[in-house]
Structure 1
Amino acid sequence: MERIETDILVIGAGSGGLSVAAGASQMGARVVLLEGHRMGGDCLNYGCVPSKALLAAAKQAHAQANGRAFGIADHAPQVDYAAVMEHVAGVIAEIAPVDSQERFEGFGVRVIREYGQFLSPREVQAGNHVIRARRIVIATGSRPFVPPIPGLDTAPYLTNETLFDLRERPEHLIIIGGGPIGIEMAQAHRRLGSRVTVIEGERALNKEDPDLRQIVLDSLAEEGVEIVEGCKVAEVRSSDGIEIVAEDGRAFAGSHLLVATGRRTTVDRLNLEAAGVELSGREIRVDAGLRTSNRRVYAIGDAAGGAQFTHLAGYHAGVIIRSILFGLPSKAGMAHIPRVTYTDPELAQVGLTEAEARDLYGDRLEVARFDLAHNDRAVAERRGKGLAKVMVVRGRPVGASIAGHQAGDQIALWALAVSGGLKMGQVAGMVAPYPTFAEVNKRVAGAYFSPKLFDSQAVKRVVRAVQRWIP
């Protein structure tokens, strides 16, 4: 048994863990990194990267089939599903060296390809290694949550961890779960030629602004995706294909089943009791600085509970590096963390939605809106379906919601505005190149000021007075 002494032990080589390991090692700390499965974690291997690669392929197929508006004949795409999935695998392989063991060993990180288990508040065993660390970071991520639906345990279902292994296109893909993963994969497979049915127990994309979610769901419906909301699954049957039986008696038959009902933190094998790390339900309990009940142990990313985004894990890494390496107080916030559903059109959010802001601020809230149909670039590209909203209190944005082309890119400006406490006047004063989708943000900021300038009788009186006195 090898015993190792180190400054920082990172458990998990996903986005957050890799960020901590790279940053801490390059700034002079001794770092050990444990990973029992694949370097890069869920994002690289099963999540963000493969799903966006699949969506990109689906977008190409959709473009071939929908050129008439541009004077180009529609052409039914010939989809080679196996080749599409090889494209996905190729994208993963191209990015993988960035997250590789060799690269991090080049930074000076000791990488051990084993799972870790706490022996004590400061010691972790990984294979034939016992690591004693001054600080320990749990970055073990999450895995698909599979609900206890009768019959599901014996059915041949897919999750995001197995979907990208397919090489034969599903004839009829049934998806349980209408969250971002389910909705993205529904549109991708429909565009690649599968029939798709999404079954959601409540509302699809139910965390999002109702106006914006409807824009996205209507687009999917127009493309032929069947979305069944308010439908709770009672049973899964599998003999010749898949059959989903709902509580109200409805039945849905298909060839393949994708379970996309959320994710659960991966903490089972850690033996957290030995470390004195407390749980809140199935999530690790952390304070505002992401420190657990054991003052030497931190949890970041999905392991810390709450929102599950790769960019949030990276942000968490920066928060704790400040604390661990420099002993400085550092707290994590959520108000400036954006989220995106990468459908076409995309749906993006940062800060408060309109409903959340209205509950919090009441009559003090002002909402600025801009329809993408009035953006000239959107008109030129036949991308005018969409809406931008910004929630404003005392001249400062507290949230922004965008549904439309490149919404995920557009939301970045509002993430900066919320994070930096910018005023609407600063965004309105920005000069955006014409014609671009970036003008949407300037125009929605302008929409905030328009009533104040153009509908104000006081402003009109001042302007008339000035005109009389100017020579």
Structure 2
Amino acid sequence: MLATSMFQSYALPHPPHVGPHDDELNLNGHPADWRNPQPREPYHLLVIGAGPAGLVAARGAAALGARVALIERHLLGGVSLNYGCVPSQALIRTSRVYAEMRNAEAYGARSPRSVEVDFPLAMERVRRIRARAARVDSAPRIADAGIDLFFGTASFVGPDIVEVDGQRLRFKKALIATGSRSLLPTIPGLDETGYLTNETLFDLTALPKSLLVIGGGPVGCQVAQAMCRFGCRTIIVHAEPLFLPKEERDAALLLSEALARDGVEIHLNTMAVNVRVEGGKKIIETLNDGNVATIEVDEVLTGIGRLPALSGLNLEAAGVAYDADEGISVDDFLRTSNRRIFSAGDVCLEHKFTDTAEASARIVVRNALCFGRERLSMLTIPWCTYTDPEIAHVGLHVRQARERGIPVKTFTVPMHDVDRAITDGEESGFVKVHVREGGDEILGATVVARHAGEMINDLSLAMVAGIGLGTIARVIHAYPTQAEGIKKAAMAYRETSAVRWIAWVRRRWFAR
């Protein structure tokens, strides 16, 4: 049995046509007059999906001199460029400016008498930035790199043949990197009333007066905070007792406090159970501990997770095993059940991040074309939720280490002890580093800070390079920076280590 369940039908959003920036995006990402090339088969590597994983693999293989085909059915760049990281970060940055204007007195400046939000201007900036980023991997540039670029829906017709737009392409090795799509909750009335996801949010041209966000994962929390800072009445309902269930409890609590300070209305342990329209408004029934309440809003945003994008691939014809919920089955070398075919990125991985997708694609290129034996399990994967403050993590949590029988010692530095965080007025958060008890090997770390996504990279580098916390204590950090929080955690380890060494010396001395 190749598949354990049927995947849901899914229609990709149409390319946006809001203005000239979207015209440029489409020109770079899917030119209307593009003609698929004549195949140069068999391809050394055929790549399905031109998101982060597919683009990295195609460019890497072409740089080696391989014959490469790249197939994309929608827009080059995938979700990350078109509906994910790039536009969301642009929108978050503008929302942060409005928040700082309103709170200017905290920085020793006078707040404007009135802060007039221009949401259409903010969205125009989002689209301009997205179009600019799309130039890097535009269709002409990919073709200039020696890659045969095909637009259309790829479908396997055999173990080494893919059909696209009526053409059949043969390959020696193939990579499936089709990414993921939004996982939508099954709420009665939701389809009829309409909703937003991260894939349609950036089509907005006017700020909704009110918005209900269903789900307290990274996307839900980021969007809720940003939209609230634009002046939209924002409510977030989350079925669990804390946001970001994969993060540490104290990090999730700090996030709840931050959202509440910004004015987000928070409903935890709450489920949306029904949606209807009355008088042009969307009425959402919620359930909390047996109590039913209603919330009236203009828009609903949902997307409680990601599902692998498998529609139309006809994986059975290629002998590729998959699960509709978990994605394509791969081994530690990212090989599928068909040894000619590999997979990378969201369509097969638990961690659905752009950086992980790119890293897994590099593994595939080396293993498929260079006789490599690189393993997915050897990756050290950081991640970050881009709320304010940001929440970043790498490695093991304490509970995970204990489940594996690893003794852990944790060093925590609150950001209000870091001079630069004080001067910046960004004291909310902490640096928490976990080391193996009795040594300085870094097992994992969590950073909650305004720039946690930048700071976590230092700890990721240390873990990959085998640099212990004691060595970090000897590194001179530029002063003042918020990364000094990491240095302080390292110094705390060093002082603890020194105390143990002094105690040992004393015991030896007085035992004479």
Could you say whether these structures have the same fold, taking a TM-score greater than 0.5 normalized by the shorter chain as the test? Answer: yes
Q: What amino acid does structure 1 have at the position aligned with 2:158?
A: S
For residues 3 and 369 of structure 1, the distance between their equivalents in structure 2, rounded to whole angstroms, comes to: 57
Alignment of 1:340-355 (within 5 A): 340-355=384-399
Alpha carbons 2:39, 2:148 under 8 Å: kept? no
SS across alignment from 1:193: coil
Equivalent residue, structure 2, for 1:261: 304
Q: CA deviation at 1:354?
A: 2.3
Q: How far, CA to CA, are the matches of 1:408 and 1:270 in structure 2?
A: 35
Q: CA deviation at 1:198?
A: 0.6
Give the 3-state SS of the residue equivalent to 1:245 in structure 2: strand
Give the one of 333, 338, 342 matched to 1:294.
338
Match of 1:40 among 77, 99, 113: 77
* Distance 1:464-1:212 versus aligned 2 partners, 3 A rule: farther
User: In structure 1, what is the Cα distance between the partners aligned to 2:282 and 2:463?
Assistant: 46
Match of 1:98 among 116, 136, 157: 136
Q: CA deviation at 1:424?
A: 1.4
Identical counterparts, % of pairs: 37
- Trace 1:276-425 onto structure 2 (pairs within 5 A): 276-282=319-325, 283-333=327-377, 336-361=380-405, 364-393=407-436, 394-425=439-470
- Judge which range, 447-456 or 83-92, deviates more: 447-456
Which residue number in structure 1 is paired with residue 22 of structure 2?
none
What is the one-letter code of the residue matched to 2:386?
Y
- Deviation readout 1:387-409 (Å, 9 max, x if unpaired): 11111113201100010121000
In the TM superposition, what is the alpha-carbon distance from 1:3 to its structure 2 partner? 5.6
Residue aligning to 2:89: 52
Structure-1 residue corresponding to 2:277: 238
Deviations 1:305-350 (A, max 9, x none): 3110000000001111111221121111266100100011100000
Specify the SS of the correspondent of 2:109.
coil
Q: Which amino acid aligns with 2:419?
A: D
- Moved runs in structure 1, 4+ residues, more than 6 A? 462-465
Tell me, yes or no, if structure 1 residue 436 matches structure 2 residue 481: yes
What is the CA–CA distance in structure 2 between the aligned matches of 1:321 and 1:453, rounded to whole Å? Answer: 46
Equivalent AA in structure 1 for residue 244 of structure 2: L
1:82 corresponding residue in structure 2: 120
Cα distance in 1 for residues equivalent to 2:443 and 2:304: 29
2:185 corresponds to 1:133: no
RMSD after superposition: 1.8
Match of residue 314 from structure 2:
271
* Structure 2 partner of 1:468: none
Partner of 2:213: 175
Structure 2 counterpart of 1:183, which letter? C
Whole-angstrom CA distance in 2 between matches of 1:369 and 1:438: 13
Q: Residue by residue, what CA displacement relative to the aligned partner does 1:83-103 show, whole Å, maximum 9, x if unpaired?
A: 111110000011111121111
1:69 and 2:106 aligned: yes
Post-superposition offset of 1:464 = 11
- How far did 1:441 drift? 1.1
2:250 to 182, 204, 211: 211
Deviations 1:112-153 (A, max 9, x none): 111100000100000021100001100100111112211111
Cα-to-partner distance string for 1:150-188 (whole Å, 9 max, x where unaligned): 111111200011000001101111000100000000110
> 1:453–1:459: 8 Å Cα contact kept in structure 2?
no
- Once the two structures are TM-superposed, the CA of residue 238 in structure 1 deviates from its matched residue by 2.2
Which residue is equivalent to 2:225?
A: 187
* Contact 1:4–1:130 (CA under 8 A) maintained in structure 2: no
Q: 1:441 to 1:464 in 2, by over 3 A?
A: farther
TM-score by length of 1: 0.95
Unmatched 5+ stretches in structure 2: 1-35
| Amino acid paired to 1:429 | R
Matched-pair contact (CA < 8 Å) for 1:179–1:260: no
Q: What is the CA–CA distance in structure 2 between the aligned matches of 1:100 and 1:340, rounded to whole Å?
A: 27
Cα pair distance change 1:460/1:172, threshold 3 Å: farther
Tell me the TM-score normalized by structure 2: 0.88
The answer to whether the 8 A contact 1:209-1:355 is kept is no
Aligned residues: 464
Query: 3-state SS of the aligned residue for 1:315?
Result: helix
